[in-house]
Structure 1
């Protein structure tokens, strides 16, 4: 049975490995995975070491199979990564629903995210879960030394009734 919970600092290494394996599939067609792998591994490790408090993970049989983050504790989902062999089993949807609930409970009326425009799997995943395209932009990616198209996605969330007057 999958369990969703907050990450712990001692799980940074395991979550880095999960993110890196998922990233390898997401970056295909955009960059040379082999050339970028070490840079990506360091980026995941640094992010998780500094932001593990913003991370929720989903585990199956005591093993992390995916994670999501709200880097700034706002409405933006900065990361959502599921182990490639665990994809298409509903784990991403469960993790997304959990993070959307957290966003709503924190008083935001919409959830937002972004990805590169060639990441059709992620775009399809978010669209399947009710997200619509909110913007498209091109910007220079220094690590790739080229312009990259990014797509923004958003979903209105039901406001949780906190039982407060006037809400």
Structure 2
């Protein structure tokens, strides 16, 4: 049975490896992930070292399988990564539901996130869970050393009875 818990400082290396593997999978065809690996790995490691308190992780079968973060403890999910071999097993959906519950519990009525626009699996994942497209823009992505189209997604956390 999967368990969701707060990250600890000692989890940073494993979380970095998961984020890097999922990131490489997500950018396949968009950029040379192997060429950008060192920059991305340093970025994940720095983020996780500085923000591990904002990270929830999911464990199953004796290992960490994925993680999600609210970098600024606001209504934005800054990260949601599941290691590629564990994708499609419901870990992302469990993490998303947990982080949405915490965002709602903190008094927010919407949740937001973003991904690169050509990350079709991520867009489908969020759309399947009632996220709508709220914006599209192009911005420089230092991890990819290029301009990338990003898509913003949002979801209302209010139930139909509350509307």
Match of 2:17 in 1: 17
Query: How far does residue 27 in structure 1 lie from its aligned partner after superposition?
Result: 0.9
Match of 1:128 in 2: 128
Match of 1:164 in 2: none
Query: How far does residue 144 in structure 1 lie from its aligned partner after superposition?
Result: 3.5
Aligned length: 159
Deviation larger for 143-152 or 116-125: 143-152
Q: Distance in 2 between matches of 1:144 and 1:54?
A: 24
Instruction: Determine if the alignment matches structure 1 residue 29 to structure 2 residue 32.
Output: no
Deviations 1:91-111 (A, max 9, x none): 100000000000000010011
Q: Give the 3 Å change call, closer, same or farther, for CA 54–142 of structure 1 in structure 2.
A: closer
Q: Distance in 1 between matches of 2:59 and 2:100?
A: 18
Match of 1:105 in 2: 105
Q: Distance in 2 between matches of 1:142 and 1:14?
A: 23
Query: How far does residue 61 in structure 1 lie from its aligned partner after superposition?
Result: 2.4
Gaps of 5+ in 1: 160-167
User: Looking at CA atoms only, which structure, 1 or 2, has the larger radius of gyration?
Assistant: 1
Match of 2:72 in 1: 72
Q: Distance in 1 between matches of 2:141 and 2:58?
A: 30
Normalising by structure 2, report the TM-score.
0.94
Query: How far does residue 142 in structure 1 lie from its aligned partner after superposition?
Result: 4.2
Query: How far does residue 31 in structure 1 lie from its aligned partner after superposition?
Result: 1.1
Q: Distance in 2 between matches of 1:18 and 1:34?
A: 15
Deviation larger for 50-59 or 25-34: 25-34
Q: Distance in 2 between matches of 1:118 and 1:145?
A: 16
Q: Distance in 2 between matches of 1:64 and 1:72?
A: 23
Match of 1:139 in 2: 139
Deviations 1:42-91 (A, max 9, x none): 10000000000000000002310000000000000000000111111111
Gaps of 5+ in 2: none
- Whether the aligned pair in 2 keeps the contact of 1:29 and 1:118 (CA below 8 Å) is no
Normalising by structure 1, report the TM-score.
0.92
Query: How far does residue 135 in structure 1 lie from its aligned partner after superposition?
Result: 0.4
Q: Distance in 2 between matches of 1:142 and 1:7?
A: 26
